[in-house]
Structure 1
Amino acid sequence: MSGHHAEADPASTPDPAPAPERDPAPGIGPGGPGDSPAPVGFIGLGNMGAPIANRLLAWPGGLVVCDVRPETTEPFVAEGATAAATGAEVARTARLVSVTVLDDAQVRDVVDGPEGILRTAAPGTVIAVHSTIADSTAVELAEVCAAAGVHLVDAPVSGGAQGAESGQLAVMVGAPREVYEACKPVFALWAGMPVHAGEVGAGTRMKLARNLLHFISFTATAEASRLAEAAGIDITKLGRVVRHTDAITGGAGAVMLRDTTAPIAADDFWHGVFTHVRGLGEKDLSLALGLADRLGVDLPLGTIALRDLGTGFGVGPGDLARRADVRASDGVSGDAGGTGRDHDDDHDDDEENR
C-alpha cells in the first residue's frame, strides 16, 4: 500500500538456503556481543517495556533503565542495571536506546525534548521506538536525529505481554538495512521474530496493518456473539469453542470472556479491561485509517470497526470514535483521530499491547 515492500528477516522466514547473518556496520549501535559492546538503554518500564528490558539484563555491555516512576527501575538496579532520570542521562553511555512510552507526544519529548536523548547522544547511536505512533512521526524524528548523526528506527512489536514475557515478540523494524543489522543482536534477546519492514516508517505501517486485522476481528467477534445470543446459544460455550480452535489456528477468541453482550456497568471489573482495550483499538484503527486516507485506500471494515469497537465491547465509543463519527456526519475525510491519547501503549496508567 505504501510503496515500501516488507522484507522478512532470513532468520525468521523458512528458506532452504538462508542468507548468512551479517555483522553490524561499524560505528552504528552498541556493537555485537563479542566486541566488548557498549551499554543499551530502555525508557518506559510498563506492561510491555518491563519484560523486554528484563531480558536485556543479559546484554554483556550493560543496561541503563529509565521511567517516570523511579520505583519501577529498582528491580533492574538490583539485578545490575543502572538507573537514569532522563533520556539524556541514558544516552550518555547507551548506544542503542529503546523507547516504549504512551504516544507520539511522549516519544517526541523523550527523543528531542529538553532532557531528551538527542541532548547527549553520540553519533552512531540508535534510537528504537517500540511505541505504536504515526508513521509520519517516525519519519520526521528520524530526519531530526540524522542531523545529529543519530539513527532513529521505528520498531513496533506484536505479541502482547505473553510474548514479551517469553521473549517471543515480533518486532517490525523500519530502518536502513545496516542499521537494522546493528540492532539485531540486541533485539534477539527479546524477539522471536525480527522483521526488516523497509525504510523508516515501514515498521509502523506494518504494525498498523497487523493491528487493523486484529481489531477488526474483535469487532466481528462481538457481532458473532450477538447473533449467537439472539439464536439462544450460550455464548460462554461459543467462546470456549472459539478459544479451543483458535489455540490451533489463531483468532479473536481471547476477548470472548463475558457471558452477555449487554453494556458493562462502570463498576464492573470488565469495564476497565475493555475500556483499556478500546483505547488501544481506537488509536491503532485511527492511525491505520489516516494512513489509508493519505494513500487513497478504502477501508470500510476499518471505519466500521472504529465506530463500533467500544459498543461491541459493551463500554461505548471512546473520544476517537466519537470525533470520527462527527467528521463523517460533516462529510469530512482525513485522519480519523490522530495519535490517540486516552490510553497507554505500555503502562496501565498505561503498548500494546496486543
Structure 2
Amino acid sequence: MTHSIGFLGLGSMGGPIVARLAAWARESGRRILVHDIRPEAMDRAAAAGAEPVAGGARELGLRCKLVLACLPSPSISEAVALGEDGVASAPGHALRTYVEMSTIGGPAMRRLAEGLAARGVALVDSPISGGALGAETGVLAVMAAGAPEAVAMARPALEVVGNRVFVVGDTPGLGQAMKLANNLLSLAGMVLTAEALSLGAKAGLDPAQMCEVINAGTGRNSSTDSKYPREVLTGRFAVGSTNRIAQKDMSLAMAEFAALGVPAPLTGLAREIWSMVEAAQGPQADMTTVAKLYEGWTGVPLRAR
C-alpha cells in the first residue's frame, strides 16, 4: 500500500515545500495529499504532483499517519489541529505524528501538544527558517522538538524540507523558542540595516557600496548580505513575507520574553518600528518595505547608484 503524507497550508513557504515533497514522493513511492482554503493554491500543488483533497484537515488526518502544517497564525494552527473539523477529529483517524512548522509561540504549541496527545497523536514542533527562496531550493534550517520516535517518523520528510535538521529538544515549545530567537535577530537586523544605510545615503554614500563594505567587515548580517541587495537596492521589495508576519513574530517573541521573565528592551523597540511599518506600508506589503519607512524620513532612496 502506498504511504501517504499530508500537508496543510500552501502559502509562500508551504507551496514551494510541497513541490519539493511531491518530487521526492514520486521517487520514494509515497503520495503527498494536500489542502488549502484557496483553490488556486491547490491547483499549483496539483501541477507540482501533489494530490489535493477536498475534506481539509479532517480528511488528511483520516488518511495519513504523518501530516505537516505550515500556517499563517496561531489561531489558524489551533483550529486546524484541535478544532471540531481538525486533523485528529475523525473517529479512527490514521494520524500518529503531526508536524507544526508554523511560528506560533511556545504557549500555543504546548496547547497543541496537550490536545493532540489526548487524541493519541504526537506533536513535533518544527519551525523553519530561510524564507521563500529557501523553501524553493530546500536550503532551510529546520528546528525540531518532540519525542524521539515522533521526530524519527517525521525526519525523512523534514530532510526534504530543509538541508539542515536540528533536533533542539524533546519538548514541543523549544522549537518555537529557537525560531523566535532567530527571527527577532533577523527582523531587528532589517530595521537596523535600514537605519545604517539611511545614515550613509543621507551623507552621500552609495547604499550598494555600503553593503559591500559592511559584508567585508564586522557588520555583515542576512539583510546586508542578501535581503537588501536583492530586494531594496533594486527596488523589487519582494522577499516573500509580509509586514503582518514580521509584526506577528516580534509580538510572539516579546510574549516569550515576558513568560520567561527576561527583559527585552531592544526587541520591544524593534517591534514598535514594525508596528509603524505595518501602519505606514500596509500589513500585506512585503517586509522589505521597512526601508521605505526610512526613505520617507530621510527623503533619500536606498537604491544602488
TM-score range, shorter chain: 0.7 to 0.9
Provide the residue aligned with 1:308 in structure 2: 273
In structure 2, give the amino acid aligned to 1:87.
Answer: A
SS for the counterpart of 2:104 is: coil
Q: Partner letter of residue 295 of structure 1? A: L
Deviations 1:151-193 (A, max 9, x none): 1222110011111111121111121122111111111122101
Counterpart pick for 2:195 among 223, 230, 246? 223
SS state at 2:205 partner: coil
- In the aligned structure 2, how far is the partner of 1:82 from the partner of 1:41? 9
For residues 220-259 of structure 1, the C-alpha deviation after alignment (integer angstroms, 9 at most, x for no partner) is 11221232133222334324544x649xx65322236546
Matched, 1:213 2:185: yes
Partner SS, residue 88 of structure 2 = helix
Classify 1:304/1:131 alpha carbon distance in 2 versus 1 (closer, same or farther; 3 Å): same
The alignment status of 1:41 with 2:13, answered yes or no, reads no
User: How do residues 189-204 of structure 1 correspond to structure 2 at under 5 angstroms?
Assistant: 189-198=160-169, 199-204=171-176
Q: Which of 91, 95, 118 is matched with 2:88 structurally?
A: 118
Give the Cα–Cα distance (whole angstroms) in 1 for the partners of residues 166 and 77 of structure 2: 22
- Give the distance between the partners of 2:66 and 2:278, measured in 1 at CA: 42
Contact 1:275 1:310 in 2 (8 A): no
CA distance 1:123–1:150, shift in 2 (3 Å)? farther
In structure 1, runs of 5+ residues without a counterpart are 1-35, 261-267, 319-341, 346-354
* Cα distance in structure 1, aligned partners of 2:147 and 2:156: 16
User: Counterparts of 2:9 and 2:78 in 1: how far apart (Å)?
Assistant: 14
Q: Report the residue type matching 1:44 in the other structure.
A: G
Deviation at 1:77, TM superposition (A): 3.3
* Larger relative contact order, structure 1 or 2 (CA cutoff 8 Å, min sep 6): 1
Unaligned runs of 5+ in 2: 287-305
Give, in whole Å, the separation in 2 of the partners of 1:127 and 1:181.
12
Kindly report the root-mean-square deviation, in angstroms, between the aligned alpha carbons of the 2 structures.
Answer: 3.0
Counterpart CA distance in 2 for 1:157 and 1:79 is: 21
TM-score, normalised via structure 2 length: 0.80
Q: Which amino acid aligns with 2:53?
A: A
Give the 3-state SS of the residue equivalent to 1:183 in structure 2: helix
- For residues 1-354 of structure 1, what are the structure 2 equivalents within 5 Å? 38-57=3-22, 58-59=24-25, 60-78=29-47, 80-85=49-54, 86-120=56-90, 122=93, 125-198=96-169, 199-242=171-214, 245=216, 250-253=221-224, 254-255=227-228, 258=232, 270=237, 277-309=242-274, 316=280
Q: 1:315 to 1:252 in 2, by over 3 A?
A: farther
Report the AA paired with residue 223 of structure 1: E
Q: Deviations over 1:95-120 (max 9, x none)?
A: 11111111011111211223211112
- The one-letter amino acid of 1:237's match is Q
Matched with 1:32 is none
Aligned AA for 2:168? A
CA shift in 2, pair 1:293/1:147, >3 Å: same
Shift of residue 55 of structure 1?
Answer: 1.6
Partner secondary structure for residue 3 of structure 2: coil
Runs (4+) of structure 1 exceeding 6 A deviation are none
Shift of 1:87: 0.5
- Residues 174 and 128 of structure 1: is their aligned pair in 2 closer, same or farther, counting only changes over 3 Å? same
Distance 1:187 1:259 in 2: 34
Aligned-partner SS, 2:263 = coil
- Greater share of residues in helix: 2
Cα 1:233/1:204, change in 2 over 3 Å: same
The verdict on how the C-alpha distance between 1:153 and 1:127 changes in structure 2, with shifts beyond 3 A counting, is: same
Give TM-score scaled by structure 1 length.
0.69
The alpha-carbon distance between structure 1 residues 191 and 316, as it changes in their structure 2 partners (threshold 3 A), is same
